[in-house]
Structures are given as C-alpha cells and as structure tokens.
Amino acid sequence: THRILLDCDPGHDDAIAIFLALSSPEIELLGITATHGNVGIEHTVRNALVLTQLAGTETPVYAGAALPIIRDPIQATRVHGKTGLQATGLPEPARAPESLHAAQAIVEIVRANPHEITLVATGPLSNVALAFRLDPELPTLIKKLVWMGGSTTYGNVTPSAEFNAFADPHAAYIVFNSGIKVHQFGLNLTLQVLVKEEHIQVLQAINTEVGRISAELMGHYVQFYRERYNLDGAALHDPCTIAYLIDPTLFSGQEYHVQVDIQEGPNFGRTVCDYWGGQGPANTWVATEANSEEVMSLILDRLATLK
C-alpha cells in the first residue's frame, strides 16, 4: 500500500480524487493538507472536512497556505462555483481542522516516516514549497511526489499556463528545482480522461450520498467544459494521480527536464518540457498517455464501494 498525504484545493475533481483514495485498499490516506486554489482556503478546508465525512472517515485535515508565495491570488470559481463544491445538501462539517499548519504537517509526517510517504498534490504547490523551505532536506525523505499540474503543450488559464502552475508559479519553481523527481500529470495527460454524461448516470445509479453528490458535481463540471471548451466531457485531472498509484500500468510516461517560467509575461507559469533533451538532467517523469476507459472504470467501480 501507498501511505499518502494529499495536498489539494477541493474542487470538483479534487473531490473525486479524495473519494478514490478513500475507497482504495492500495492507498492509506494519512492526512489531507488544504491549500488556496480553486477557491479560498476557508472553503477548501471545509470541503476537505465535508468530503472525508461523506466517505465515512475522520482523516485529519490541515489548513495551509491562504496565499501564493509571491503573486496575487487567483481562483477558479468559474469552474468550481463560489464555495468549490456545487452540490446541494452537503452536511455541515462535524470536525475542525487540526491545529498544525499544513506545511508543518508535511514536514512532521515525512520526518516521522522517512522514505515512506508519497506526497500527492492536486492544487497549487504553495504548501509543498513552504514545507521544502522549512526543511530543505525534505525532498530527499519523500518516497514519491505526484503532482497534477502544468502541461507539455498549451494551458487552460492562459494560452501557455495550467491553473495549478499559474496559481503559484514560484512555488512550482521551488519544487521543480528542489532535487526531487516530480511525477507530473499535466493537461496533456488529463485531457485524455474525460468524465461524460454516461458516467454521471452510473454515479447516480450507485444510489448513495457519495454517488448522488459526485453525480451533481460532475454535472456542473461537464456543463462548464461544454460551454468553455465545446467538449463532450470534462477532464478528470486530479484523480489521475491517485489512479496512477493504484495501477501504474494505466499510464505511460517519460523522463524529461522541466522548467517553470516565473518571468511575468505571456509564458508566466508555464511548465516548459525539454522534449528533445539537452537542456539539463531529467528532473521529471511526465505522464503522456492514459488508458482512459480503464481509468474511468476504476474510478466508478471504487466510488461505488463507499457507503
């Protein structure tokens, strides 16, 4: 099993990633560290508490960075709504977040379990960068870092930048230059994994709170993708990271040298992948192909096992 910490900004696709992690025996979710991102930190913390509660667990939730390292904060309320979860009848959180800051929690949990923790990040990398600054040896003590963010091709918030990279480019810069190998699931990969109307019907038919709420979230998500991108489905970005840990054979990828552009201008926040090589040593395993149908079946099958 993978013992993981999930750093996220729930968020519709983050929500599915949390449900997938909590329904999979291959994954032991030690804690969720929340970051600003899709919506403000007060919402992402609350959403993490509510989602774990719906899944019937008491996974510790740590509140993290309210702001990016340098740039002004941005949000994705257009995609995820004002609160980050566009679903009706969500319960009130029955628990409070832990008192430790998310960055401090990453340091303490990794230090207590050296070389054993897989860190999965599905939002801006602010908490991870802060943890690496608090404890510069941390990159050598993490078993594996898997991140949804960036792109080898075009972006989604700007022509060149993906949201999680653009929301805190300096944090991404710190992480990609920390010496750790990043396992990157960028837009070039995640746009291959689309949740469609037919999948929403399967979620609905599960006939549980998790199924109903997931179906409602995905309904809004698919609608946004139709209006904004004219696509017949919405990219299930964040769950790809968890699906990869559950079954790495569902994906293929290659090692590249990746740099993060922190110059303000049209490429601000772009993850620049050195496709032909020669610019520096490979610091990133870049996911390039997904077996989309299998990834979707895995997600639907696993979510159906939650109460």
Name the site residues for Ca ion (rule: CB under 5 A): 9, 11, 14, 122-123, 238
What, of ligand BDR, Ca ion, none, does residue 79 touch, CB below 5 to 8 Å by kind? Answer: ligand BDR
168 contributes a contact to ligand BDR by CB under 6 A: no
Site string for ligand BDR, 234-253 (x = CB under 6 A): ---xx---------------
Q: Which of 32, 4, 80, 54 is nearest to 241 (CA)?
A: 4
Beta-ladder partners of 234: 195
Q: Confirm if 174 and 206 have CB atoms less than 8 A apart.
A: no
127 contributes a contact to ligand BDR by CB under 6 A: no
Q: What φ, ψ does residue 114 adopt, rounded to 5°?
A: -60, 135
**Residue 80 catalytic?**
no
Which residue, 100 or 213, is less far from ligand BDR as judged by CB? Answer: 213
H/E element, 84: none
188 contributes a contact to ligand BDR by CB under 6 A: no
Interface with ligand BDR (CB under 6 A), residue from 86, 122, 126, 152: 122
Q: Which of 36, 183, 237, 257 is catalytic?
A: 237
The pair of structure tokens assigned to 244 is 């990869």
What, of ligand BDR, Ca ion, none, does residue 118 touch, CB below 5 to 8 Å by kind? Answer: none
Which residues 6+ apart lie within 8 Å of 55 measured at CB? 18, 19, 22, 23, 210, 306, 307
Query: CA 15 from chain center: how many Å?
Result: 9
54 contributes a contact to ligand BDR by CB under 6 A: no
Total number of residues that touch ligand BDR (CB under 6 A): 15
Cα separation of 25 and 87, whole Å? Answer: 27
Q: What φ, ψ does residue 128 adopt, rounded to 5°?
A: -65, -45
Smallest separation (angstroms) from ligand BDR to the CB of 123: 6
Interface with ligand BDR (CB under 6 A), residue from 20, 29, 76, 125: 76
Q: Which residues are catalytic?
A: 237
